[in-house]
Amino acid sequence: MAIEPITREEFERVHTSHRSECFIALSALQPMTGIKMPCRWKHNKNGCTGPGAVYACVKSAGFKIQTSCRDGVFYTFRYE
């Protein structure tokens, strides 16, 4: 494969195309708002693995969030 230059627009299109609907919704959370969705993460003896994935998702944005998984529904709330 040859090395080729790309434009910023091409990079942004490729970079953001893999983002999930969940990531997009989490990134769009405004302070003092939340979302709920069917839980799609694995559950083991320690509980739901979703919080780790969600915290990693919003870490770069500097959000302060809290999560909860109850009866197959995953809740996330963003604080200021």
Q: How confident is the model at residue 57 (pLDDT cuts 50, 70, 90)?
A: confident
Q: How far is CA 13 from the centre of its chain?
A: 18
CA distance 15 to 11: 6
Contacts of 31 by beta carbon, 8 Å cutoff, 6+ apart: 78, 79, 80
Residue range 8-52, pLDDT digits in tens? 888 777 655 556 778 878 888 999 999 999 998 899 998 999 998
Q: How confident is the model at residue 63 (pLDDT cuts 50, 70, 90)?
A: confident
